[in-house]
C-alpha cells in the first residue's frame, strides 16, 4: 500500500513527489512511457526562473531530487482508478500491475490538440507533426509550415527557423494576440519566417511525383511545403478517468469536484495558466494537501 501515487512525471508530478517524499510518505510516480511530458520536449527553456538549460535537463534534475527523498519512479501509465470501500484507491496500470494507495495525485498533463481536416490523420508522421523538437531535424534545409498563433506556435517557428530553409506561420486571426511580445519580436526579426494571417487550413494532400505536401486553405489557396507542424492548443490527458469525474471542455479537472484523497496538479487542472511555473506551484499545493489528508487519517 502506497501513501501517494502520482500520475505524471512532468514538473507538477515531480514537485509533488519532492514534497510527499520529504514528508516520509511512501510515494511512487507513474511516469508514463517517457519522462517529463511536454517539458521534456523543450529545447531551450527561458521562462522558468533560475533555469537556463533544456526542459529535459530540468526534469532530470527534479527526478533526482524526488528520488533523493525516497520517491520511486516507474515507467507505466494508469488505465483506470478504482475507489475502494475503505476509502483507498487501486490504480490499474498498463504494465499489468494493480497498485493500492491511500491518495492519488493526477498530474498527467496535456497533449497537443489534433488537426481535424482532410489529410491530417493520413499524413501524421509522414509530413504532419505535433512536436517541432522531436521531428524538426527531418526538415533540415527544407520548407515547413507552422499552424497556430500562440506561444507554442511561435516557439516552434523560431526553433524550426534554425533548421529549415523557410518557415511559414499560418494563423486564423489578424495578428498574434495570444503570443508574448518577445516572441512576436523575434519572429519579426527572422528573415526566413513569413506569416499568413486570416488564414485557415481545409485539407492536406501529397503532390504528385514527390513527397511534398499541398495544403489548401479555406479560401482555396494552395501552399506547397515539405512538412506541417501543428500548434493549436492542448487537451488534458484524462481519458483514463471514469465518466463520473467532472471535466471542462478541455478535459481538465476542478480540484473541488474530486473525491476525498484525490488531488490534481499541472496542466490537467482547470482555470490555470499552462506554464511550468504554474505546474510547480500546483504540484506543491497537491503534495501538501495529500500530506495533510494522510496526516488527518493517522
Q: 179-183, 191-195, 205-209, 278-282: which has the minimum mean pLDDT?
A: 205-209
Whether residue 187 sits in one domain with residue 250: no
* Signed CA dihedral, 140, 146, 152, 158: sign only: positive
CA geometry: angle 269, 79, 61, nearest 5 deg: 60
Q: What is the CA radius of gyration of the chain?
A: 21
Whether residue 138 sits in one domain with residue 83: no
Whether residue 143 sits in one domain with residue 50: no
Of 180, 196, 230, at which residue does a domain stop? 230
Task: State the CATH number of the domain containing residue 195.
Answer: 3.50.50.60
- Is pLDDT of 233 > 90? no
Whether residue 166 sits in one domain with residue 274: no
Q: Pinpoint the alpha helices (H) of the chain.
A: 11-22, 55-68, 132-135, 151-161, 181-189, 276-297
pLDDT in tens, 107-137: 999 888 899 999 999 999 899 999 888 889 9
Q: Active-site residue among 94, 100, 131, 284?
A: 131
**Is 131 annotated as catalytic?**
yes
Of 230, 246, 277, at which residue does a domain stop? 230
Report for 46-60, 94-108, 248-262: range of highest mean pLDDT: 94-108
- Per the structure, the complete domain to which residue 164 belongs is given by 114-230
Report for 32-41, 63-72, 116-125: range of highest mean pLDDT: 63-72
Whether residue 123 sits in one domain with residue 95: no
Q: If you average pLDDT over every residue of the chain, what do you get? A: 94
**Is 134 annotated as catalytic?**
yes
Whether residue 238 sits in one domain with residue 205: no
Backbone angles phi, psi at 109, to 5 degrees: 70, -155
- Is pLDDT of 209 > 90? no
pLDDT attached to residue 153: 95
Whether residue 107 sits in one domain with residue 64: yes
- Does the pTM of the predicted model rise above 0.75? yes
Q: Active-site residue among 93, 94, 100, 135?
A: 135
Q: Active-site residue among 134, 162, 211, 239?
A: 134
Whether residue 146 sits in one domain with residue 46: no
Whether residue 120 sits in one domain with residue 48: no
* Signed CA dihedral, 5, 8, 13, 14: sign only: positive
**Is 93 annotated as catalytic?**
no
Whether residue 282 sits in one domain with residue 241: yes
pLDDT in tens, 88-111: 999 999 999 999 999 999 999 988
Of 205, 230, 255, at which residue does a domain stop? 230
Strands 227-230 and 143-147: parallel
Domain count, the chain: 2
Whether residue 191 sits in one domain with residue 159: yes
Whether residue 47 sits in one domain with residue 132: no
Amino acid at each position: 500500500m502506497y501513501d501517494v501515487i502520482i500520475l505524471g512525471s512532468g514538473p507538477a508530478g515531480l514537485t509533488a513527489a519532492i514534497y510527499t517524499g520529504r514528508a516520509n510518505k511512501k510515494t511512487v510516480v507513474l511516469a508514463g512511457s517517457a519522462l517529463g511530458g511536454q517539458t521534456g520536449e523543450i529545447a531551450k527553456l527561458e521562462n522558468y526562473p533560475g533555469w537556463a538549460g533544456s526542459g529535459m535537463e530540468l526534469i532530470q534534475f527534479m527526478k533526482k531530487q524526488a528520488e533523493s527523498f525516497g520517491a520511486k519512479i516507474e515507467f507505466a501509465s494508469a488505465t483506470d482508478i478504482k475507489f475502494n470501500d475503505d476509502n483507498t484507491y487501486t490504480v490499474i496500470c498498463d504494465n499489468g500491475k494493480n497498485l493500492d494507495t491511500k491518495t492519488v495525485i493526477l498530474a498527467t498533463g496535456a497533449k497537443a490538440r489534433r488537426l481535424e481536416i482532410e489529410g491530417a490523420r493520413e499524413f501524421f508522421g509522414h509530413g504532419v507533426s505535433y512536436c517541432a523538437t522531436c521531428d524538426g531535424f527531418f526538415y533540415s534545409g527544407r520548407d515547413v509550415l507552422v499552424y497556430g498563433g500562440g506561444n507554442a506556435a511561435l516557439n516552434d517557428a523560431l526553433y524550426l527557423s534554425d533548421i529549415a530553409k523557410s518557415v511559414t506561420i499560418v494563423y486564423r486571426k489578424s495578428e498574434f494576440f495570444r503570443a508574448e511580445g518577445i516572441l512576436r519580436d523575434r519572429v519579426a526579426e527572422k528573415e526566413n519566417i513569413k506569416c499568413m494571417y486570416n488564414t485557415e487550413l481545409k485539407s492536406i494532400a501529397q503532390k504528385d511525383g514527390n513527397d511534398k505536401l499541398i495544403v489548401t486553405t479555406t479560401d482555396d489557396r494552395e501552399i506547397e511545403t515539405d512538412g506541417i507542424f501543428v500548434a493549436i492548443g492542448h487537451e488534458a490527458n484524462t481519458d483514463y478517468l471514469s465518466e463520473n469525474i467532472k471535466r471542462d471542455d478541455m478535459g481538465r479537472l476542478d480540484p473541488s469536484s474530486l473525491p476525498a484523497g484525490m488531488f490534481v496538479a499541472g496542466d490537467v487542472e482547470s482555470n490555470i495558466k499552462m506554464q511550468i511555473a504554474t505546474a510547480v506551484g500546483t504540484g506543491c499545493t497537491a503534495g501538501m494537501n495529500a500530506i495533510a489528508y494522510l496526516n488527518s487519517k493517522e
